[in-house]
Amino acid sequence: MRMMSIRRHLLVWLLPGFLLLWAGAGSAIYFSIKQRHEAQLDAELRELWAALPFGDRSARVSLLSIEDFAKDDFGIYFQIWDQQGNRILKSENLGRFELPQTGSFGSEPEYRDQRLGNGDLVRTLSVGSTGGSLGPLKMIVATSWEENTADLRKSLIAIIAVGLLTGIGFAILLSLALRSGLKPLVGVGEQASRIEADTLSTRFPTKGLPGELRPIAERLNDLMSRLEESFAREKRFGADLAHEFRTPVAALRSLAEVAIKWPEQTSIEDYEDVLEISCELQVTIENLLTLARLENAKEQLVSEQIKVHALIEDCWLLFAPRATERGLAFRNSIDPDLTFESDPKLLRLIITNLLSNAAEYATGNSDILVTGDVTGLFVTNPAPHLTKDDLPKMFDRLWRHDQARTDSSHSGLGLSLAKTCAEVLSFDLTADLEGGSVRFSLKTS
């Protein structure tokens, strides 16, 4: 389901919300005005009642004077009944209609709105009288709402009109404010939608962004940097992989084609070359497969107490001839009793690759030093050719310091394998440079 835009969402909620609030406020204003009118009418009725001869509650009721009181049609009515409900008197302006005989007709006046038979809405005051020559009487004095109704209608129209105009104004202002306020967000969204694999170097501008969006833009920029680095790494890997396979395959193909085309020129050396290339390709493929399999190796881990000193000595035997050839001195200064609890196969793979790397790439006639304690082990050797820029790439698959990748006996997977094994064992394998030497640290915690 397509999500509503923030702008529309806010408009849909705020505009009806505003109108609802205005309706509430308008109603409150309207009823307050109406209440004021009622109070005013009630006061008028009380004045009328007080002005009536009947109203002074004296027993001397002069029916004539009452009749005089309401003979003109000023929207004022009255009617009097005896206790049995028989009409005694009513104002002339009531004509054939009568005031509804409602109320308790006690000594205290009661007020209510009633509609006359002629359709006129009136405010009534009903009251009872105990004395007089005519005995106890019931009386209702009424005054028309007509003028007040017109006022109330005007007030209602004004409230609605103001509400509508304010609503339209609010909608326009809200729309403009949202457009302006959401502009940076829209900008970020548009820029994000334009990002492609080949535009990963672009960054979201953080200057001038609202405070709420800045952390988002900064986070996105951070992610973009990582993504760019990841893409660059994959691209490097792709190019390296292409070289790693294309050149030997080209050599195999050329050897075969030349042998077919000029068989008389084929020698045993060509077959030796084929064998050598095949073995190198096999090592590369197996290392790549090991890397892929290691990602799911956690479930098959074995945990044992491993004597690190002895393991290193054992691993070094593989590289001792090469080290001697290159004039390298090897020193294993780890305490013979030091043990690590780990998977022996993977730990051996890590150490083998670290020592292989040292034996192959340490400066000729230099020292390889292995140290360690419970926190981890460290392999150090001189490597003046390495730079700080090389450090983040050293553990990449197929990375080699030699950009030409001439030495086909090494594929550049050893350190990557060691790193992956370390991750599987929850170790941390890092490299740092100090004084022209590289130090690989395998930390156990």
Partner 1 sequence: MRVLFIEDSKHLRKPVIKALKASGYAADDAADGEEGLWLAQNHDFDVIVLDLMLPKIDGLTVLTKLREGGVTTPVLILSARDTVEDRIKGLRTGADDYLVKPFSIDELLARVETLSRRTYEKRSSKVQVADLVLDSATKTATRDGQPLDLPPQQFGLLEYLMLRAGQVVSRSEIEEHIYDTNACVMSNVIDSAMNRLRKAISVGEGSKPLIHTRRGHGYILEERDS
C-beta pairs of 81-90 under 8 Å, 24+ apart in sequence: 81/137, 81/138, 81/139, 82/134, 82/135, 82/136, 82/137, 82/138, 83/135, 83/136, 83/137, 83/138, 85/138, 88/63, 88/134, 88/137, 89/63
Q: Which is nearer to partner 1, 7 or 401 (CB)?
A: 401
The string of DSSP codes covering 235-297 is HHHHHHHHHHHHHHHHHHHHHHHHHHH-GGG--HHHHHHHHHHHHHHHHHHHHHHHHHHHTTG
Q: Which is nearer to partner 1, 262 or 364 (CB)?
A: 262
* Least distance in angstroms from the C-beta of 260 to partner 1: 9
* Least distance in angstroms from the C-beta of 402 to partner 1: 7
Q: Which is nearer to partner 1, 242 or 292 (CB)?
A: 242
Q: Which is nearer to partner 1, 85 or 262 (CB)?
A: 262
Q: Which is nearer to partner 1, 72 or 407 (CB)?
A: 407
* Least distance in angstroms from the C-beta of 242 to partner 1: 5
Contact 438, 432 (CB under 8 A): yes
Q: Which is nearer to partner 1, 4 or 258 (CB)?
A: 258
DSSP category for residue 421? H
* Least distance in angstroms from the C-beta of 391 to partner 1: 22
Q: Which is nearer to partner 1, 248 or 344 (CB)?
A: 248
Tell me the C-alpha distance between 376 and 394, whole Å: 20
Tell me the C-alpha to C-alpha distance, in Å, between residue 247 and each of 149, 241, 242, 251, 412.
100, 10, 8, 6, 15
Q: Which is nearer to partner 1, 161 or 258 (CB)?
A: 258
Contact 90, 100 (CB under 8 A): no
Q: Which residues bind partner 1 (CB under 8 A)?
A: 239, 242-243, 246-255, 257-258, 261-262, 265, 269-270, 273, 276-277, 402-406, 408
* Least distance in angstroms from the C-beta of 273 to partner 1: 5
Please enumerate in sequence order all residues whose Cβ is within 8 A of that of 246, keeping only pairs 6 or more positions apart, or say none: none
* Least distance in angstroms from the C-beta of 281 to partner 1: 11
The first and second tokens of residue 92, run together, are 């002339």
Tell me the C-alpha distance between 404 and 438, whole Å: 22
* Least distance in angstroms from the C-beta of 403 to partner 1: 6
Contact 438, 284 (CB under 8 A): no
Please count the CA atoms within 13 angstroms of the CA of 217 that sit on its side-chain side.
Answer: 21
* Least distance in angstroms from the C-beta of 363 to partner 1: 18
